[in-house]
Structure 1
């Protein structure tokens, strides 16, 4: 029964991840292009702001540009959310003595961090491919990848399989993003359940509805983004394609930090944050609404059985 419940969590997470990407992907493309544009790269177009970026990409590249990297994004997001909820639920079970045992914020933090680290190792190659595809544009100076398989084959042939793990250390640091988000979500959820239960004179957690999950998903995401966004910029800059000589623009995370601070200052570490908030705050709300409601369907099915 425990294994079945864990796979239900994984399925709910995967469905939620797919729904999120399908709705918000154009903003993800915009965010990635803002993140890597340090003003010194000739083959990247410049945009004034997020609306201008969307309009410019749509006009010059069409829907193909707005949905560049969509396939790896769908694959990566669905796998990531599915594995995250799977590993997260397993970790919470290990930390709790029984079903009625309420976990502390520290336990939620540890469970989310553990799940995030495992997911990073599984999915980093997918994110490298997604980033590379999103950065392709009419000004690209090297042969463009024709798709996911071509990108995978070309990267391993030209750069070796280790290139698929570029940005892995920032990715592991970004475990803190999921940890912060899920800890905030769980703690806010408990407060909201207690408040609504007391008001309704019941201890039934079903007092929460989709509007509540929207608030919880969005607010927990804002907290996580504000704390961890600079690490996302570092990761994107590491994962971009090398120049025509095969030399990566940045050698490592420290090189990114040094160059960004030198030429762009603090502002450089927050490039694209508007698009990121516009994409991820509603996306997080959608994800948790879908996740919680899919779990409710599973619960109803289990009760009937």
Structure 2
């Protein structure tokens, strides 16, 4: 607190956003990881996989792996979401300041949406390898153990493999335009006359932001989940998916258009508590660091 107070206003704002973003990542993981596990498993299995639907996936996971099976792969996102959200909120602050240079007027929602789209590609550099490890661990089913943990997964996947899904991740994260735009629009409508917003309304705005985000990018999320979780290949072997276009073609050939929305229900169930918690934690830490 003392160290932050000695910084210039601009630098202090950036540091506060990085710290608050880190806290929001922890809150997001705790609130939403079980739903994320179900989402990833349904996405990667497709319509003809081992699960008949959301409820079957949930009951099978708990029956075979216990309740903690829903938190499988939680360690990477617990750390990773702290890093990702720290970069996301920090980069968003910097990019907004470059887009809207007039500090005497409030930034417009279109400007916020543009900043969000640019931030999406920046954050993808950090998000892609972290979420690749998370996804690979999430689809280790009962009785099948390819990786002994995050470090072993990183070692076996390799740097190139960790960035195999970078392009679809970039397109997916571009929807931060809807995320931050949706949040700002909601906050401006829900804010009290004195300019403050309650915890409950901040939670609601965060849930709306998350819904806007996922409704505008989910097909790309399915594609990147498939690419991230495809089996590791040895030199000379042909991967299951050669890239984003090849993956999209194969999903459509087997599952049709509905294949690009597999896992959408648990995603929507997750988005309100996870993103509501994200923005509540973020706003609370920002206030504490003022």
Give the TM-score normalised by structure 2. Answer: 0.90
- Residue of 91, 110, 133 corresponding to 2:137: 133
Q: Does 1:181 align with 2:170?
A: no
Q: Does 1:88 align with 2:86?
A: no
**Corresponding residue for residue 252 of structure 1:** 243
Q: Please give the alpha-carbon distance, in whole angstroms, between the structure 2 residues aligned to 1:101 and 1:284.
A: 28
Deviation of 1:116 after TM superposition, in Å, equals 1.8
The answer to whether the 8 A contact 2:14-2:93 is kept is yes
SS at the partner of 1:118?
A: helix
- CA, structure 1 residues 64+147, in 2 after alignment: closer, same or farther (shift >3 Å)? farther
- CA, structure 1 residues 240+247, in 2 after alignment: closer, same or farther (shift >3 Å)? farther
- Residue of 176, 189, 195 corresponding to 1:205: 195
**Corresponding residue for residue 294 of structure 1:** 285
Q: Residues 206-245 of structure 1, C-alpha deviation per residue, up to 9 Å, x if partnerless?
A: 2x11111122111122122112111100000011132677
Where does structure 1 lack aligned partners over 5 or more consecutive residues?
Answer: 198-203, 300-305
- CA, structure 1 residues 123+224, in 2 after alignment: closer, same or farther (shift >3 Å)? closer
Where does structure 2 lack aligned partners over 5 or more consecutive residues?
Answer: 1-7
Q: Residues 162-221 of structure 1, C-alpha deviation per residue, up to 9 Å, x if partnerless?
A: 11101100111012221111012112222333xx32xxxxxx322x11111122111122
Select the structure of larger CA radius of gyration.
1
The answer to whether the 8 A contact 1:214-1:285 is kept is yes
Structural mapping, 1:153-302, within 5 Å: 153-156=155-158, 161-193=159-191, 196-197=192-193, 204-206=194-196, 208-242=197-231, 246-299=237-290
Q: Could you say what the CA RMSD is over the residues aligned between the two structures, in angstroms? A: 1.9
Q: How many residues align?
A: 280
Q: Please give the alpha-carbon distance, in whole angstroms, between the structure 1 residues aligned to 2:232 and 2:275.
A: 35
- Residue of 21, 24, 34 corresponding to 2:29: 21
Deviation of 1:40 after TM superposition, in Å, equals 5.6
- CA, structure 1 residues 64+216, in 2 after alignment: closer, same or farther (shift >3 Å)? closer
Q: Please give the alpha-carbon distance, in whole angstroms, between the structure 1 residues aligned to 2:263 and 2:204.
A: 23
SS at the partner of 1:146?
A: coil
Q: Please give the alpha-carbon distance, in whole angstroms, between the structure 1 residues aligned to 2:217 and 2:100.
A: 28
SS at the partner of 1:217?
A: helix
Q: Please give the alpha-carbon distance, in whole angstroms, between the structure 2 residues aligned to 1:39 and 1:286.
A: 31
> Which of structure 1's runs of 4+ aligned residues deviate more than 6 A?
none
The answer to whether the 8 A contact 2:40-2:139 is kept is yes
Give the TM-score normalised by structure 1. Answer: 0.86
